[in-house]
Amino acid sequence: MDPETGKIIDLASSVPESLEQADRLIAPKEDQEEAIRSRYTLWSECSQRVEDAFKKQILNIQGEDASEDITDLIADAILNPIV
């Protein structure tokens, strides 16, 4: 992030507009390790509770399957839900 302009710059896909801008870039507070760990911990706790609450409705699909097979599995689950 450029603290002077407030502009967010994704260094993976773009470059700063100037060397001056590059020199003043900082990582936003929400991207610092402690904040990320805190958000991840909260996400892990919440996602587990959601999964437990809806475990009968969750459809597990292997990502290695062919996309046509995955589409068929999802369509079948929608058309023939387990009640």
What digits encode the pLDDT tens for the residues 48-67? 999 899 888 888 888 898 99
Give the predicted TM-score (pTM) of the model. 0.47
HSE at residue 64, side-chain half, CA atoms within 13 A, is 0
Distance CA 2, CA 5 (A): 6
Distance CA 64, CA 47 (A): 23
Residue 39, both tokens = 């958000």
Distance CA 35, CA 28 (A): 10
Confidence at residue 2, expressed as pLDDT on a 0 to 100 scale:
92
Name the stretches of the chain with pLDDT < 70.
83
Give the angle 60-64-67 at the CA atoms, nearest 5°: 85
